[in-house]
Amino acid sequence: MRKCTRVAAVLLALGTAAAGTAVPAAAAPLGLQLVTRTSPVDQATKEVVVGCPGGTKAYSVGARVNGSPPGFVVVDRVEPAADLTSVVVRARPRVVGTAWSVTGFALCGFGQPRLYPSGDTVQADQVLHDTDTDAESCPAGQVTGVGATISNPANEPVGLYALKPNPALSAAIASASGPAGPWPAGQWKVKAWAICAELSLDLALVEAMSGKSEDSPKTVIATCPDGSLIGWGGAVDGPPPHKPAALEGTTPNTTDNEVTAIGTAGASPWSMAAYAICVK
């Protein structure tokens, strides 16, 4: 099932376009370029930094776990730099016993995307819980990227199960799950990061959803029907508890203007969603 929501963006003369020059209905003026980096293959927690080429900034970011059995490894950090020139991606094992790697993605381009909130810090909760959700807002119709950071002082196997925009492209939503106890397990917190851009182009959100079942893992592809991919997201959707749930990856394909989302969950029937943010 696919839904498409079109959002009209506010006009802005891009720095890469001459004053008074009409910006074509395509992403070409942004000079979008997908940058990836993959970690070494082993069994340990690992982190990679993906940097944008000089003069460009990240419009969207993401991560994918490679080579691990479903549910064995979780992504717990997709954190853009404050100036959006890079993103830090981290993953950790929930179950040790297999070698794996993690790939980070940054879709970089010219212009002035902004990170919300700016300079925020993340501290763990003092309240025990097994799921947590955070949302960060920006002006309506401007979300192009979603990131998250999990504060996890006890190094528990906590992982993200949702990184998604809302239908109005006015908020970035991040959700995570992990153990609730005994103490100090459960004292962790998720923080969402929103990448927002005021463009002279129209944005449209495409959502693709799998059927609901107990099958795991599930893979879904969301494709821009026209225009270019500028952002993406993915989410496990199902009844709580989400403790076994994990968003194992969102893989952008800028050639076919699509994103592939893969996730795992527990025994309750659940579905998988992929989100493509498209620019015309």
Calculate the average pLDDT of the chain: 85
- Strand (E) positions, the chain? 2-7, 33-38, 46-51, 57-66, 73-80, 86-93, 101-109, 114-116, 131-137, 143-151, 159-165, 171-177, 189-196, 203-209, 218-223, 228-237, 246-253, 258-264, 271-279
At residue 274, the pLDDT reads: 98
At residue 106, the pLDDT reads: 98
Angle at 41 between CA 159 and CA 38, to 5 degrees: 75
Percentage, residues of the chain above pLDDT 90:
66
15 pLDDT band, cuts 50/70/90, is: very low
Beta-carbon count within 10 A of 23 CB? 17
Residues whose CB falls within 8 Å of the CB of residue 244, separated by 6 or more in sequence, listed in order: 71, 177, 264, 265, 266
At residue 54, the pLDDT reads: 94
> Is the predicted pLDDT of residue 247 greater than 60, yes or no?
yes
At residue 117, the pLDDT reads: 87
**Domains, the chain, ranges and CATH?**
2-18+31-247+261-279 (2.60.120)
90: helix, strand or coil: strand
129-138, pLDDT tens digit by residue? 688 899 999 9
> For residues 159 and 176, what is the distance between their CA atoms, to the nearest angstrom?
5
The partner residues of 103 in beta bridges, in order of sequence, read 38, 64
The CB-side HSE value for 43 (13 A sphere, CA atoms) comes to 5
At residue 265, the pLDDT reads: 87
Strand order in the sheet with 73-80: 46-51, 86-93, 73-80, 143-151, 189-196, 114-116
Average pLDDT of the segment spanning 173-193 = 79
220: phi then psi, degrees, rounded to nearest 5: -135, 145
28-42, pLDDT tens digit by residue? 679 999 999 999 999
| Least confident segment among 7-21, 41-55, 150-164 | 7-21
136-174, pLDDT tens digit by residue? 999 999 999 999 999 888 888 889 999 999 999 999 999
At residue 201, the pLDDT reads: 85
CA-wise closest residue to 207 among 263, 122, 158, 277:
277
At residue 18, the pLDDT reads: 29
> For residues 73 and 98, what is the distance between their CA atoms, to the nearest angstrom?
10
Contact 115, 65 (CB under 8 A): no
Cα–Cα distances in angstroms (integers) from residue 111 to residues 49, 153, 240, in the given order: 21, 36, 40
| Least confident segment among 7-21, 107-121, 142-156, 192-206 | 7-21
76-120, pLDDT tens digit by residue? 999 999 999 999 999 999 888 899 999 999 999 999 999 998 655
Residue type (1 letter), 204 = A
> Is the predicted pLDDT of residue 241 greater than 70, yes or no?
no
